[in-house]
Amino acid sequence: LLSAIPYVGTDIVQWVWGGFSVSNATLNRFFSLHYLFPFLLVALAAVHLICLHVDGSNNPIGVRSDLDKVSFHVYYTSKDWYGIVAFAVFFCSLVYLAPNLLGDPENFIQANPLVTPVHI
């Protein structure tokens, strides 16, 4: 994908790979990237929330009125709890009352090491 960039694509690929082919250096780089990237995203989300909390959000009209605000705790907390309870009831009814509803029918066939399954 990176090699499709004109003029510098092959150089970028060699830099990302750490050489002329995929090697241990490439695996170490990608492992580090995939390990550290979620922490970076959490840090950026925290900075975003802190900036939003300090400065406050803005509306497109530009009108700042404290009369139009809805308190978070009573309104949104109750809405969130309603959604969580509704999902929990749906999920628990699916798990406990109809556990085979989403299962694959081939899971009920006895395993036979001498025969390969049809879907393979």
What mean pLDDT, rounded, does the chain reach?
A: 87
Which of the two residues, 57 and 29, has the higher pLDDT score? 29
Which of the two residues, 68 and 3, has the higher pLDDT score? 3
Read off the pLDDT band of 46 (50, 70, 90): very high
Residue 6 pLDDT greater than 70, yes or no: yes
**What local confidence, expressed as pLDDT, does residue 47 receive?**
95
Mapping DSSP onto H, E and C, the string for the chain reads: CHHHCCCCHHHHHHHHHCCCCCCHHHHHHHHHHHHHHHHHHHHHHHHHHHHHHHHCCCCCCCCCCHHHCCCHHHHHHHHHHHHHHHHHHHHHHHHHHCCCCCCCHHHHCCCCCCCCCCCC
Read off the pLDDT band of 15 (50, 70, 90): confident
Read off the pLDDT band of 53 (50, 70, 90): confident
- Give the model confidence (pLDDT) of 78-100 as tens digits: 999 999 999 999 999 999 999 98
Residue 18 pLDDT greater than 90, yes or no: no
Which of the two residues, 94 and 71, has the higher pLDDT score? 94
